[in-house]
Amino acid sequence: MTGGAELQQGETLAGDLPDELATKAMRTVASYATDAVDARDLLEMLGLIDAPPTPNPTTGCGTAQGWRQHKSGETEPCQPCLDAWARYHRERGARGEE
């Protein structure tokens, strides 16, 4: 909640606060954390930062194995696999392999 108002779907605290206050809030939360992972988890829970996409452990989505499974036609590509595919091609382009 911010200012007594409920957050709407898709709203984050950082989006509701001026940059100076959002930065201060992030630093305060991070100072209470026991390590970097704990700090990131706290900031994600409060909506101050976006959580990274996570691979689906059952299908391997977000990995080369998951993409191959989708490519073989067994299932439609999911967002983690599409993101991994795009990232792979961006990195190849940056290395001059395309």
pLDDT for 27-64, tens place per residue?
777 777 777 777 777 777 777 777 666 655 556 777 77
* Measured CA angle at 62 (ends 56, 66), to 5 deg: 80
Burial of 46 (0-12, 13-18, 19+ CB in 10 A): middle
Highest mean pLDDT among 3-7, 10-14, 74-78 belongs to: 74-78
pLDDT for 53: 65
Measured in whole angstroms, the distance separating CA 30 from the mean position of its chain's CA atoms is 18
pTM of the model: 0.35
Residue pLDDT, tens place only, 9-19: 444 555 566 77
